[in-house]
Amino acid sequence: MIRDRGYRGRSGGGFKSSADLRPGVHAVEVLLDSGQEINRIWVQRGKKDPAVLGLLREARQRSVPVQEVPPEKLQQLCPGNHQGIVAQASPIAYHALEEWVQSAFDQGQSPLLVVSDGITDVRNLGALARSAWCLGADALLIPGLDNAQVTPDAIKASAGALELLPVCRTLSLPEALRYLANSGFRIMGASEKGKDLGRDQDLSGPLALVLGAEDQGLSPDTLRRCDALLRIPMPARARSIGSLNVSVAGGILLFECHLQRSRT
């Protein structure tokens, strides 16, 4: 009901030809030195080249997601002499979650945060961001690994919303959810196994709405951290389809958030 039907292109993870990929030691070094935001760095598993290890140390100091992959993955991303390392530049600047939360509270907001838990299709991520922007969400939170990042294709699917909506990124979604809960956010997960309808929960306060991926839904760790699980009621005939696209389900739940918040 609330899952992502993720397209996985030849490069995996939803990345398509418009992804800004930089193969090779020098290209990654230039990208790091430029200060531009980086979506992810892929490095060949077991790579011991000193130049590559130096780049990885710098990347981790900057909290850039680093993923070790087999050489076949790098060949899929960038056929040719990639020297065991590939980076992807981001078209937007990501926000630090803690800074965004503090700023929202300083401005007297009761923030609404949409959280992606393993959505792999950049088009679905973009469409979800479009719904989030149009229905009053204040920001989007994405994990740095095992989740689609903001690419030109995602921005196109969002109709530009990803250039307007603050996007926060975390290297650990469980830690981010723990921080949000400690900061006064209620954590609401979207799941067809949920017992509650949106209208039966108070969605007007600080809220993190978490939506999961097609194959697994919300991760077990995320499920444990949710204050409630929300479901979308559907007629019996919908069982033959099984689920709504994640951006559609997100839009339905965000509309309920918008209704409740407009009354306060």
- pLDDT one-digit tens code per residue, 190-242: 998 888 999 999 999 999 999 998 667 899 999 999 999 999 888 777 666 66
Question: Is the entire prediction scored with pTM above 0.75?
Answer: yes
Q: Establish if 5 belongs to a structural domain.
A: no
In a domain, 10, yes or no: no
Cα separation, 2 vs 111, whole angstroms: 22
Instruction: Look at the chain and report how many structural domains it folds into.
Output: 2
Identify whether residues 62 and 103 lie together within a single domain: no
Tell me what percent of the residues of the chain surpass a pLDDT of 70.
90
Hey, is 87 helix, strand or coil? strand
**Digit-coded pLDDT (tens) for 149-164:** 999 999 999 999 999 9
Q: In terms of pLDDT, which residue wins out, 20 or 98?
A: 98
Do 249 and 135 lie in a common domain? Answer: yes
DSSP-derived pairing of the beta strands 228-230 and 21-23:
unpaired
Buried b (16+ CB within 10 A) or exposed e, 114-139: bbbbbbbbbbbbbbbbbbbbebebbb
Token pair 């600080």: residue: 206
Q: Which of 130, 147, 134, 219 is CA-nearest to residue 177?
A: 219
Residue 257 and residue 158 share a domain: yes
Q: What is the reported pLDDT for 237?
A: 77
Average pLDDT on 165-178 reads 97
- CATH number of the domain at 181, please: 3.40.1280.10
Q: 13: pLDDT confidence band, cut at 50, 70 and 90? A: very low
- Any domain includes 1: no
Token pair recorded at residue 233? 């009621």
Phi-psi region of 72 (alpha: psi -120 to 50; beta: other; left: phi over 0): alpha
Position 240 scores a pLDDT of 66
